[in-house]
Structure 1
Amino acid sequence: MCKKIAVVLNDSGQTETIHESSVIKVYSKEKDQWEEINQFPFTLKGLMVVKAIRENMLYLVETLGECKIIVAKKLSGVPNSMLDMSGFTIVEVEGEPEEFLDDVLERIEEYEISLVEAAKEKEINTRPVSPKDDGHYYINLKELQNKNSGVTSKQALLPFLNNTIFHQLKIICSHAPKWLEEELKRTNMKSTIEMVNPNEYKIVVCKKTCDEV
């Protein structure tokens, strides 16, 4: 798990809404200490046009890079949707970073562990499998979510995409996850989508070749 957290702050160093913020600071935990590794001015204050909001949010996503945890006083509407689609874990907290960074990280880690344990209890495999152990993986999201509606596409795929070396991943789903395209761009991967049946699609994910980069 990447131990980097972005925090939306006001001039007083307190968490703020993204429409009233003044700066975003990024913290990284090295050993047992949190260090500020980046900061940049950012606010959506005064922006009323959706296009302008989206453009600013795209800039934010690109600037944060591999940091996929963001903390704010409150996040809703278009900013929330765009961050969610881009694979972010969103946490709403009031206060100063030093008061909550450890708690936020601990809560996220506990949540991820609980998902794994819950899946084990229900004997449902929530991650892609490689039947021949040859780097070719497969997951039927449609079947998985029919068995367990609490499992999202992000929960099933993100840990795999971020932590597994593979040649190809085949996904069967009822629709293409909205967040997947941005995640594949970020990790230098490509995909093809094919409708195999009504309301059923096959997505094949693999690394880009040198001439495609």
Structure 2
Amino acid sequence: MGRKIAVVLDENGQTSTFYESSVIKVYTKEKEEWKVISETSLSDNKMTGTKLIRESIKNIVEYLNECRVIVAKEVSGIPHTVLDMAGFKIFEVEGEPEELLDPVLEILEQGEVEKTSSVNDNDIKVEPIPLNKEGSYYINLKEVQKSKPGITSKGALLPFLRNNTFYELEVICSHIPPWMESELKRLHMGLDITQNSSGEYKIIIYRKTCNEN
């Protein structure tokens, strides 16, 4: 049996968050087909209160057993902390399992090849790097996640956003992280988004002035 990948799904079969999901299905690829080998309902999970959330995620970790890859629409807060400490590779992807499992598996396998090769991926910075303009920083999430598949957009950006003083941060990515807008609003930051002809996004994150809402 091949690698196992757990997917957090809503009632419509789309990836979801732990707070909105109804089921976790564990998939494995047999020959050229992905098959569900186990699933557990989350409908009765009461994901409210720090203690109950932590206990719920720990129960999920125990249920998943040796499976240490999980895919969800978004993984934040306590779920992210517990899963990360348990050694999970976390992928934040929107869509149906049929369309996302092969790309996730490809990233995982590529990461293992690079880990055992002579390629030095330490040149790819996980955190934003300073630019010549004072207070300006840059990060290419596409390169970071290609080099280090276990790194999520939150893992690469949130520590910097929450703990550093900066004027603006330029982010290059293939999609807009679903958590970004609400988190930036909470941090009183704004963003400008542009997309080039190849579909790549450039996000400029900046600190709002006192006059901005």
Please indicate the TM-score interval, normalised by the length of the shorter structure. Answer: 0.5 to 0.7
CA contact (8 A) 2:10 2:23 kept: yes
Cα deviation for residue 76 of structure 1 reads 0.8
Aligned twin of 1:105:
105
Q: How far apart, in 1, do the equivalents of 2:36 and 2:17 lie?
A: 20
CA contact (8 A) 1:17 1:73 kept: yes
Give 2:38's aligned amino acid.
N
Q: How far apart, in 1, do the equivalents of 2:10 and 2:68 lie?
A: 20
Aligned twin of 2:40:
40
Cα deviation for residue 31 of structure 1 reads 2.1
Q: How far apart, in 2, do the equivalents of 1:7 and 1:68 lie?
A: 11
Cα deviation for residue 39 of structure 1 reads 1.1
Q: How far apart, in 1, do the equivalents of 2:92 and 2:43 lie?
A: 17
CA contact (8 A) 1:16 1:74 kept: yes
Q: How far apart, in 1, do the equivalents of 2:22 and 2:85 lie?
A: 24
Q: How far apart, in 2, do the equivalents of 1:109 and 1:77 lie?
A: 27
- Identity, % of aligned positions: 50
Give 1:77's aligned amino acid.
G
Where do 1:61-140 residues align within 5 Å? 61-117=61-117, 120-121=118-119
Question: How many residues align structurally?
Answer: 126
TM-score of the superposed pair, with normalisation by structure 2: 0.53
Give 2:57's aligned amino acid.
M
User: Which stretch has the larger CA shift, 10-19 or 28-37?
Assistant: 28-37
Aligned twin of 1:10:
10
TM-score of the superposed pair, with normalisation by structure 1: 0.53
Q: How far apart, in 1, do the equivalents of 2:64 and 2:81 lie?
A: 16
Secondary structure, aligned partner of 1:19: coil
CA contact (8 A) 2:2 2:30 kept: no
Q: How far apart, in 2, do the equivalents of 1:60 and 1:27 lie?
A: 15
Unpaired segments ≥5 residues, structure 1: 125-151, 155-213
Deviations 1:30-62 (A, max 9, x none): 222211111111269753311111110111000
Q: How far apart, in 2, do the equivalents of 1:44 and 1:103 lie?
A: 31
Summarize the Cα distance change of 1:109–1:44 in structure 2 as closer, same or farther, 3 Å threshold.
farther
Where do 1:172-191 residues align within 5 Å? none
Aligned twin of 1:19:
19
CA contact (8 A) 1:19 1:43 kept: no
Give 1:53's aligned amino acid.
I
Q: How far apart, in 1, do the equivalents of 2:119 and 2:5 lie?
A: 31
Q: How far apart, in 1, do the equivalents of 2:32 and 2:59 lie?
A: 30
Give 2:61's aligned amino acid.
V
